[in-house]
Amino acid sequence: MRSTFKVLFFLKRDKQKKDGSVPVYCRITIDGKEARFGMKKYIDPKLWNIKEGKAIGKSAESSEINALLEKTKAGIHKIYRDVQERENAVSAEKVKNIFLGIDSKQYMLLKAFDEHVEEKFNLIGKRIVKATYRRYYYLRIRLSEFLLEKHHLSDIPLRDINYQFIRDFEMHLLIVRGNKQSTIAQNLILLKLVLELAYKNGWIFKNPFINYKIEDEKSERGYLTQIEVETLMNWELDKKLEQTRDVFIFCCFTGLSYIDVFKLTREQIQLSIDGQLWIMGKREKTDMDYFIPMMEIPKKILEKYKNQTFKNGKILPVKTSVMVNRHLKEIAKVCGIEKHLTFHLSRHTFATLTMSKGVSLESVSKMLGHKNIRTTQIYAKMTTEKVGRDMAIFAESIKETERKFVVNF
């Protein structure tokens, strides 16, 4: 499908000179989006035909201007056709830049990135959440580090970014930063979005990610079995470890993330008309509402700490993330749990155990505060316990059929 394309010339009347003349401008429109630039020519407004977009008459001045306009229009049309045939993607900005001979070296990676990040910052709470902005922010830091260490540069022209640059950055994240493949993939996807924007704006004339395959780690998410959860619950620990264990167990039975339980206040515990206690709030990561009915174990943990005072109105003894991770590592060792305990794991455990006990995918998704139910499908694993129970129900339902089945030997 061909795009809509138009080239027009007009007068910028708000930039009138003292002698009354005004500048002539060119406007390129492709698929409803415009790009403009000055022709570096001035004309008396009386000598301009607004409808036809050119000078009136056959004077030397009018003839000179009209010849320039025709040449400009022909050149822009040729660039448009060439770009469309070569790349099958064309924008007004790109055509303008090529026509003006703007060197893509003028556009720098981190400068373009800063503009993109600023745009994302202004969209927080409107179209994106803080977590998305933070990912762009930290990627910008990683890119700056990479440029200094690998290329000894504070910035790099967009034109110089190629397949090898991307590959080197991926290796930097893997070897120097020690990132997991899933984290690397997330960073490369964000970088790809920024470079695609640069390409659409005409800052670069080829997208370096065209033939680059981003490898993602499709590993299954871990979770604790019911026996492992019970082991953690009943193990005697010293006070500092006991507090972190209690918060972890609280999350195993509520599905709250670390940041959401860290900020949990008394006001978020609501009593419904049927007398049931609920935890209600908005997820820090997605800004989505969550509604979680309180089971007995979380109730007992809240009761345990109800007479203690914590900072900022918090109702549980949640330590800093660094301290929490240190405690969880120690708890796992003491209790003989060979899995890596994290608050991601407690959240996965909640999703998996609730679904294994028959809670619907839709209900789990709502309690976890997911934007999309597909995310819940990733978190929630089918356990052997549920498979076994489901098959037992199925076997019971076909007993009559089994009785009718006769094997002849």
Same domain, 155 and 68: no
Q: Running DSSP on this structure, what letter comes out for residue 29?
A: E
What tens-digit pLDDT sequence spans the chain (409 residues)? 456 899 999 999 988 899 999 999 999 999 999 999 999 899 999 999 999 999 998 899 999 999 999 999 999 998 888 788 767 678 898 888 888 866 544 678 888 888 877 877 777 666 666 777 788 889 999 999 999 988 888 888 887 888 899 999 999 998 888 888 888 988 999 999 888 888 877 777 778 888 888 876 554 567 898 899 999 999 999 999 999 999 999 999 999 999 999 999 999 999 888 788 999 988 887 778 888 888 899 999 999 999 888 888 889 999 988 899 999 999 999 999 989 999 989 998 988 888 877 788 788 888 888 776 666 665 544 444 554 555 566 566 656 655 644 444 4
Q: How far is residue 5 from each of residues 11, 51, 174, measured CA to CA in Å?
A: 20, 18, 45
C-alpha to C-alpha distance for 283 and 286, rounded to whole angstroms: 6
Q: How many domains does the chain have?
A: 3
Q: For residue 398, is it within any domain?
A: no
Same domain, 343 and 356: yes
Domain residues for the domain of 194 are 105-200
Same domain, 90 and 109: no
Whole-number pLDDT of residue 83: 80
Whole-number pLDDT of residue 153: 86
Whole-number pLDDT of residue 125: 62
| Among 258, 256, 242, CA closest to 295 | 256
The radius of gyration computed from the CA coordinates of the chain, to the nearest angstrom, equals: 32
Helix (H, G, I), strand (E, B) or coil at 85: helix
Cβ contacts of 209 within 8 Å, gap of 6 or more:
166, 192, 195, 196
If one counts every other C-beta atom within 10 angstroms of the C-beta of residue 213, the result is: 7
Same domain, 233 and 274: yes
Same domain, 234 and 367: yes
Same domain, 93 and 133: no
| Among 117, 176, 116, CA closest to 142 | 176
Cβ contacts of 387 within 8 Å, gap of 6 or more:
none
Helix (H, G, I), strand (E, B) or coil at 246: helix
Angle value at C-alpha 370, between 368 and 372, nearest 5 degrees: 145
Question: Taking the chain, what is the end-to-end CA distance rounded to the nearest angstrom?
Answer: 68
Q: For residue 205, is it within any domain?
A: no
Same domain, 356 and 256: yes
343-356 and 384-397 helices, crossing angle to 10°: 10
Same domain, 46 and 80: yes
Same domain, 92 and 111: no
Q: For residue 287, is it within any domain?
A: yes
Of 37, 65, 100, the one marking the end of a domain is 100
In CATH, what number is assigned to the domain containing residue 365? 1.10.443.10
Of 200, 234, 258, the one marking the end of a domain is 200
Of 73, 100, 127, the one marking the end of a domain is 100
Q: For residue 397, is it within any domain?
A: no
Q: For residue 211, is it within any domain?
A: no
Same domain, 257 and 185: no
Same domain, 96 and 120: no
Q: For residue 208, is it within any domain?
A: no
Q: For residue 220, is it within any domain?
A: no
Q: For residue 293, is it within any domain?
A: yes
Same domain, 266 and 134: no
Q: How far is residue 72 from each of residues 68, 78, 124, 156, 188, measured CA to CA in Å?
A: 6, 10, 42, 32, 39
